[in-house]
């Protein structure tokens, strides 16, 4: 049974970090960076019973956009089992409470993630490269 929980302690924070850094190796985050993000965004981890399977981020709208950003991440060993859909639906509900639209950002090398987003109805808006990175991110909108 899938459980999605917030970052309530060091263990959940480290689990979120593990998933994020494995799926986005080009932009690993430190514990301090995650704590700072958790003050601004909704960061959660997903477990199949006690087994870590993924994490998520919901960013409220910013000065640049009225859309909320939803990001669902699933560890490769747990993909194609419905976890991504469940995490995404959970994030989507939260995102719709916060913004007028929904966006997501996916590392261009994550072809499974891009395919999943397109299957959910997202369309590519922009591709951008963060300073110092070699692999771009793709911004998509619902």
The total of structural domains in the chain comes to 1
* Banded model confidence at residue 142, pLDDT cuts 50, 70, 90: very high
pLDDT confidence tier of residue 94, bands split at 50, 70 and 90: very high
Report whether pLDDT(88) > 90.
yes
CB-count exposure of residue 97 (10 Å: 0-12, 13-18, 19+): exposed
Helix (H, G, I), strand (E, B) or coil at 43: strand
Whichever domain contains 17, its CATH number is 3.40.630.30
Q: Strands across the sheet with 67-74, in order?
A: 2-6, 42-48, 51-59, 67-74, 101-107, 137-141, 123-128
Q: How far is CA 97 from CA 49, 69, 94, in A?
A: 27, 12, 5
Whose tokens are 């965004």? That residue is 41
Stated pTM of the model: 0.90
Q: What is the pLDDT of residue 130?
A: 86
Range of the domain at 34: 2-141
d(CA 142, CA 121): 6
pLDDT in tens, 54-86: 999 999 998 888 899 999 999 999 999 999 999
The whole-number pLDDT of residue 65 equals 83
State the pLDDT at residue 84.
93
């Amino acid at each position: 049974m899938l459980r999605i929980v917030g970052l309530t302690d060091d263990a959940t924070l480290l689990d979120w970090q593990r998933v994020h850094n494995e799926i986005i190796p080009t932009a690993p985050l430190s514990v301090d960076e995650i704590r700072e993000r958790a003050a601004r965004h909704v960061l959660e981890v997903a477990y199949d019973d006690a087994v870590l399977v993924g994490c998520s981020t919901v960013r409220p709208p910013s000065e640049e956009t009225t859309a909320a950003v939803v990001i669902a991440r699933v560890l490769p060993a747990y993909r194609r089992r419905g976890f991504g859909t469940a995490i995404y639906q959970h994030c989507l509900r939260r995102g719709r409470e916060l913004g007028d639209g929904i966006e997501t950002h996916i590392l261009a090398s994550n072809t499974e993630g891009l395919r999943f987003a397109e299957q959910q109805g997202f369309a590519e808006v922009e591709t951008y490269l963060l300073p110092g990175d070699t692999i771009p991110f793709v911004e998509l909108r619902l």
